[in-house]
Amino acid sequence: MPAPTSRRELNKAATREAIADATLAFLRAKSLSEFTVDDVAAAAGVSRRTFFNYFSSVEAAVASFTQNYLDTVIAELESRPADEPILESAGHALSAVDSAADLAMLAETFALTQDPQLGRFQLQAWEECSSKIADVARHRLPPATNELYIQALVGAVVGSCKAAFGVWFQEHGSDISPASLAHLRELLGTTISLVRNGFNN
């Protein structure tokens, strides 16, 4: 991936990250209603107006972390061989993304989901993810594949894996130790195979 890295791009990316980070920092300390966009903008060293040039709300700023994580998984999925069974690819893609940073973020976003105001935006990130995965699936499955099959498959995979992450988070909180990660991978593996082989065991 030859990043089209002009100076402008770099600045934008840095600003974007600064804003998102500042937002997250506030959320670690306070709830949504206890700080304002002005606070975040100031902390990120940027004007209020610039904040809104990057994100349409504080909620959207936090959701960017989840989006990043999910996009990474999707990139991983796309890089799998095209003839691999798609559920197997999914399993590998999920296992491949396990850097501490990524997963710590994901765990944190699960914690944030407790606030429905933030949860909405997280859900939307997953939804967008679903539609991107559906695109990938459409290209990988035989061309004549039923649209229902594709969409139901993606819905089931994403829905159940999200649930698996939820179970993991409920048990381990923000614990990112190797043991915890191994458990996560096991949960995801089990889930994928349930989807593959059916829930009627």
Partner DNA sequence: TGCAAGTTTGCACTGAATGCAAGTTAAGGT
Partner DNA sequence: ACCTTAACTTGCATTCAGTGCAAACTTGCA
Interface positions with DNA (CB under 7 A): 6-8, 11-12, 15, 36-38, 46-50, 52-54, 56-58
7 near 35, Cβ under 8 Å?
A: no
Residues found near a second copy in the complex (CB under 8 A): 85, 87, 116, 119-121, 123-124, 127, 130, 147-149, 151-164, 166-167, 170, 187, 190-191, 194-200
69 near 97, Cβ under 8 Å?
A: yes
Helix axes 147-172, 116-140, angle to 10 degrees: 140
141 near 104, Cβ under 8 Å?
A: no
- Taken as a whole, the chain contains a residue count of 201
- The listed partner (DNA, a second copy, none) that binds 42, CB under 5 to 8 Å by sort, is none
In the complex with a second copy, the residue whose CB is nearer, 50 or 146, is 146
- The listed partner (DNA, a second copy, none) that binds 6, CB under 5 to 8 Å by sort, is DNA
Q: How far is the CB of 134 from a second copy (least distance, A)?
A: 8
- The listed partner (DNA, a second copy, none) that binds 74, CB under 5 to 8 Å by sort, is none
- The listed partner (DNA, a second copy, none) that binds 24, CB under 5 to 8 Å by sort, is none
Q: How far is the CB of 113 from a second copy (least distance, A)?
A: 9
Name the nearest CA neighbour of 180 among 71, 100, 70. Answer: 100
Q: How far is the CB of 199 from a second copy (least distance, A)?
A: 5
DSSP letter (8 states) at residue 71: H
Q: Cα 85 from chain centroid?
A: 23
Q: Which residues of 179-198 are buried (b: 16+ CB within 10 A; e: fewer)?
A: ebbebbeebbeebbeebbee
In the complex with DNA, the residue whose CB is nearer, 8 or 139, is 8
In the complex with a second copy, the residue whose CB is nearer, 20 or 150, is 150
